[in-house]
Structure 1
Amino acid sequence: MSEQTNIKRFKVKNTWKDYEVTLGVDLNRLTAERATMINGFWTNAKDRVAEENGDVVKAVVRMFGQVMINMMLAEGGASFSGKPRGPFDDAGPIWTEDLHNEEGWGGTIKEDGYGWCGIKVIEADVETVGFDDVELEELAHV
């Protein structure tokens, strides 16, 4: 008997800069027990859970999104949808694998995009600051 699918989608968003990632989460894999292990790997574990009203699974999903946004910003940003138009148009699996292989996330599982942690990136809109986003102002010499 096969296990019933329990996949949900979540959006993690930085509201002041409009960075966002959409995540797919396999809740059969990301159990409260596994989420507690992942969350406890880093400092401030209790604070993250408190921010999510005691829900450790949501705290880990939110943290995955936050770490993913930071990774994307460090690499110059990323923008892709969950509907690839061609074979080289789906960046989600590449970004997901990169984070799965970071310490604390448990690694990848062959032929499975959710990895040990049970989370994958579906869409992203993380744009870095462009030339038109900044202004130059000359200051008086002091």
Structure 2
Amino acid sequence: MQAQNPSSSAVEASTPPNIKRYLVKETWKEYEVTLEVNHDVLTQEIASMINGFWSNASDRLAAENGDVIRTVIRLFGQTMIYRMLSEGGASFSITTKNRMTGEHPGPFWTEDIHNEEGWGGTEPGPYGVCGIRVIAADVDAPGYDDVELVEVSNA
């Protein structure tokens, strides 16, 4: 029988989190958000609770072949794109900093979704209960030159 290395539990405790990046895109308008997901936080249980909170949960789950974690990541991205469009759009990269504050805009957008009912809140840390945060976006609302006016008859 070998003696246990006393530092082995310290190494396990300091293991870096299981973080991956995903791109969620709206295929027709080319809107996209880059999300960072802490898979140590977004577990099957958390993902099932989040997906189940919203209507049409089984349809979303079927679209992702039963993978509830992918379902919730995609839902978060779709919700983020919708939120950004409702606020006039957003465009920033992973390295973007606000000129006035020097802060990245991702936490501002992420906090909005984390605080929305059904997403669990902002604690613990930047990934919130859902384990997801936005780190880049390209969601431009249509400008004046992107729309046209056409008169239609009163049928």
Range of TM-score over shorter length: over 0.9
1:19 CA displacement: 0.6
Report the CA distance between 1:10 and its aligned residue: 0.5
Structure showing greater Rg: 2
- Post-superposition shift, 1:137? 2.5
- Whole-Å separation in 2 of the counterparts to 1:90 and 1:72: 15
Distance across 2 between alignment mates of 1:109 and 1:141: 54
Amino acid at match of 1:82: I
Residue in 1 that maps onto 2:117:
103
- Residues 75-119 of structure 1 show CA distances to partners (whole Å, capped at 9, x for unaligned) of 111111111245445211000001100001010126x21011100
Report what 1:126 is aligned to. 139
Deviation at 1:135, TM superposition (A): 1.6
What is the Cα-based RMSD across aligned positions, in Å? 1.6
Instruction: String of CA shifts for 1:50-88, please: whole Å, max 9, x gaps.
Output: 100110000000000001111111111111111124544
Establish whether residue 15 from structure 1 lines up as the match of residue 27 from structure 2.
yes
User: Which residue identity lines up with residue 113 of structure 2 in the other structure?
Assistant: L
* Inter-partner Cα distance in structure 2 for 1:113 and 1:38: 18
Classify 1:141/1:103 alpha carbon distance in 2 versus 1 (closer, same or farther; 3 Å): closer
The aligned amino acid for 1:123 is A
Supply the distance in 2 between the matched residues of 1:29 and 1:122 (Cα, whole angstroms). Answer: 17
Q: Distance in 2 between matches of 1:45 and 1:141?
A: 41
TM-score (structure 2 length as normaliser):
0.85
- Counting aligned pairs with the same residue, the percent is 60
Aligned length: 141
**AA aligned opposite 1:121:** V
Amino acid at match of 2:59: D
Q: Secondary structure at the match of 1:113?
A: helix
| Paired position in structure 2 for 1:48 | 60
Unaligned runs of 5+ in 1: none
- Aligned counterpart in structure 1 of residue 77 of structure 2, from 36, 61, 65: 65
Q: Corresponding residue for 2:108?
A: 94
Unpaired runs of 5+ residues, structure 2, are: 1-12
Match of 1:80 in 2: 92
Q: For 1:124, what is the secondary structure of its paired residue?
A: strand
CA positional deviation for 1:43: 1.1
Cα separation, 2, equivalents of 1:137 and 1:89: 43
TM-score, scaled to structure 1: 0.92
